[in-house]
Amino acid sequence: MYKNKAVTQWVEEMAKLTKPDKIVWLDGSDEERIRLTQEAVSTGEIKYLNQEKYPGCLFHRTAKNDVARVEHLTFICSRNKEDAGPTNNWMAPEEAYEKAGRIFDGSMRGRTMYVIPYIMGPMGSPFSKVGIELTDSIYVVLNMRIMTTMGKAAMEQLGDSGSFVKGLHSKADLNPERRYIMHFPEDNTIWSVGSGYGGNVLLGKKCFSLRIASNMARHEGWLAEHMLILGVENPQGKVSYVAAAFPSACGKTNLAMLVPPPALKGYKTWTVGDDIAWMRIGEDGRLWAMNPETGFFGVVPGTSSKTNPNALIAASKNTIYTNVLEGPDGTIWWEGLDQEPPAYGIDWKGDPWTPDSGTVGAHPNSRFTAPASQCPSISPEWRNPEGVPITALIFGGRRAKVAPLVYQSFDWQHGVFVGATIASETTAADTGEVGVVRRDPMAMLPFCGYHMGDYWRHWLEMGKRIPCPPKIFHVNWFRTNKQGKFLWPGFGENLRVLNWIISRCEGESEAVKTPIGYIPTVDALNLEGLDLPAGTIESLLSVDREVWKEELNGQLPFLEKIGDKLPKEIMDEHNAVLNRLN
């Protein structure tokens, strides 16, 4: 069907290994979507939801032991172990091909191999990249349709070129003992076997656009980051874009789809992306960011008309729901939704459930896969082949005591240090252990496809190469009072913080210099119409020297773990903060 030699040869080779009954090359047409959906419905892999209530929506339940990314089974298979660095699992490429190859051997017998050509990034953009995923899962095909530009367009973009990322996926027997997510950065290859969960099997997403792409970016002089991209339009109609990285469970999708509070009249916000940013130096000397995806693969529980109305609307049609509670008559429900739960349903495990069961109905990591185009706040620029120019980069974390609501780094190098040392404290929901600090540099700990020290070095070098670099900030929406209550209302009110950030970049708002960075003066934040108890903003903006000394001390084991490749500049910045605190 398609005549690219390199692709055909590789598909034949992989078919020889996995031995499917049949190979189907996908064109991305609507007819194809309908045919595959019907086929998956007929085998029970997928269900139609109530089409009146949720037009075009589908439901899928993964295996109980297969509901999240598996970091301990995720490997970077570079020739030299050193290149994977101390924060990744490593396996030698020959060993990895051999080990996974044994599981792939015959794994598609009796099944169809689907060939999914896809583009990450807008078609025709010089910054887009092509991948091909071979999979034995229709669920994967239907998700990739939402998350990428797939089919004929991708083969057209590829032309005769042999330059594409090779992704092989098979559910095999969905055995957690025989499950691997292998990345071969030197071969631009991804092998994923034994899982059917999104983050492990939608290979365009974390595997390609972050782990493989971070490697490409390092060699080609750009950045592949775990960042949302958001435009803020002021009442004069000027739009400024920010890109922000937060560890999981810090509200990245919510910030990406923020709704301005009524008190901030005339402001609009525009969603460009909620998870991944590919960023390059533009001809104007600024940093330009592009969202390589065309959909959102978002966490469902907690999504409501209060927390994220835009996500709710984006996911109201043509959306795939995975591992939520299945209610009667093709309905669904999840914890945190506005509506009351149904009187009975089937939970994410496939077991009967009632509100009195004492367990959650939807898995905490249940997901929606929704077309980005359906998001009411989607930016008119979201498919611009050039991307959007970035005014500020924002790092954040969930910190009860340490970090103030917002601070600005002194310069790029200090900003890289701030990003390199971001951390989040676990919530009770995560592990049962509350307040454990997990360091997650640039929110890339599970996604950086090479040595963390080299990655920080690349960030430092990029700063020297960008003529007009964005300013770098840190935010923390999660500071608490002595009673453990959040001090900041968050959600739409976060726009007040973004506005300070943007006006700082324009040299227009006031700040005080502290040992950790610039912090807004109490008057610099617009708090109009926000009813905060007296002293709250002072608490939110305070920097406790003793707490910060402890924080810096707490960074040391992680920095030491990076070893010989830890850039001296990062230690210099660490020591400089310490000196300023003393």
Q: Which residue ranges make up the annotated binding site for GTP? A: 249-254, 367, 398, 491-494
Strand, helix or coil at 423?
A: strand
Contact pick of 167, 198, 260, 397 for ligand PEP (by CB under 6 A) = 198
Give me the 232-251 binding string for ligand PEP, x by CB under 6 A, dash otherwise: ----------------x---
The partner in contact with residue 191, picked from ligand PEP, Mn ion, Na ion, none with C-beta cut-offs of 5 to 8 angstroms by kind, is none
Give me the 147-176 binding string for Na ion, x by CB under 5 A, dash otherwise: ------------------------------
Catalytic sites, residue numbers: 250
Measured in whole angstroms, the distance separating CA 172 from the mean position of its chain's CA atoms is 26
Q: Which is nearer to Mn ion, 7 or 443 (CB)?
A: 443
Nearest to 202 by CA among 320, 27, 108: 320
Residues 6 or more apart whose CB falls under 8 angstroms from that of 485 comprise: none
Decide: residue 431, CB within 10 A, 0-12 exposed, 13-18 middle, 19+ buried.
Answer: exposed
The partner in contact with residue 152, picked from Mn ion, ligand PEP, Na ion, none with C-beta cut-offs of 5 to 8 angstroms by kind, is none
For the bound state, the minimum distance from the C-beta of residue 275 to Mn ion, rounded and expressed in Å, comes to 4
Contact pick of 59, 75, 288, 297 for ligand PEP (by CB under 6 A) = 297
CA-to-CA distance for 174 and 170, rounded, in angstroms? 9
> Which residues contribute to the annotated binding site for Mn(2+)?
206, 226, 275
SS3 sequence of 374-417: HCCCECCCCCCCCCEEEEEEEEECCCCCCCCCEEECCCHHHHHH
Give me the 25-44 binding string for Na ion, x by CB under 5 A, dash otherwise: --------------------
Q: Which is nearer to Mn ion, 250 or 416 (CB)?
A: 250
CA-to-CA distance for 334 and 362, rounded, in angstroms? 5
The partner in contact with residue 280, picked from Na ion, Mn ion, ligand PEP, none with C-beta cut-offs of 5 to 8 angstroms by kind, is none
Give me the 280-299 binding string for Na ion, x by CB under 5 A, dash otherwise: --------------x-----
The residue count for binding Na ion (CB under 5 A) is 1
Helices (H), 258-389: 309-314
* DSSP annotation of 226: S
For the bound state, the minimum distance from the C-beta of residue 6 to ligand PEP, rounded and expressed in Å, comes to 29
- Please measure the distance between the N-terminal and C-terminal CA atoms of the chain and give it in whole angstroms: 69
Contact pick of 19, 69, 152, 561 for ligand PEP (by CB under 6 A) = 69
For the bound state, the minimum distance from the C-beta of residue 275 to ligand PEP, rounded and expressed in Å, comes to 6
Contact pick of 45, 66, 275, 573 for Mn ion (by CB under 5 A) = 275
Q: Which is nearer to ligand PEP, 223 or 524 (CB)?
A: 223
The partner in contact with residue 384, picked from ligand PEP, Mn ion, Na ion, none with C-beta cut-offs of 5 to 8 angstroms by kind, is none
Q: Checking DSSP bridges between strand 129-135 and strand 165-170, what pairing results, if any?
A: parallel
- The 10 Å Cβ neighbour count of residue 1 is 11
For the bound state, the minimum distance from the C-beta of residue 350 to ligand PEP, rounded and expressed in Å, comes to 21
CA-to-CA distance for 491 and 174, rounded, in angstroms? 38
Strand, helix or coil at 346?
A: strand
Token look-up 């610099």 returns 524
Q: Which is nearer to ligand PEP, 58 or 466 (CB)?
A: 58
The partner in contact with residue 199, picked from Mn ion, ligand PEP, Na ion, none with C-beta cut-offs of 5 to 8 angstroms by kind, is ligand PEP
For the bound state, the minimum distance from the C-beta of residue 296 to ligand PEP, rounded and expressed in Å, comes to 9
Q: Which is nearer to Na ion, 141 or 502 (CB)?
A: 141
> Which residues contribute to the annotated binding site for substrate?
69, 197-199, 248, 365-367
CA-to-CA distance for 473 and 395, rounded, in angstroms? 6
Can you say whether the dihedral through the CA atoms of 503, 506, 508, 510 is positive or negative? positive
Per CB under 5 A, 107 contacts Na ion: no
For the bound state, the minimum distance from the C-beta of residue 371 to ligand PEP, rounded and expressed in Å, comes to 16
CA-to-CA distance for 123 and 125, rounded, in angstroms? 6
SS3 sequence of 149-189: EECHHHHHHHCCCCCCEEEEEECCCCCHHHCEEEEEHHHCE
The partner in contact with residue 10, picked from Mn ion, Na ion, ligand PEP, none with C-beta cut-offs of 5 to 8 angstroms by kind, is none
> Which parts of this chain interact with Na ion (CB under 5 A)?
294
> Which parts of this chain interact with ligand PEP (CB under 6 A)?
69, 198-199, 206, 248, 275, 297
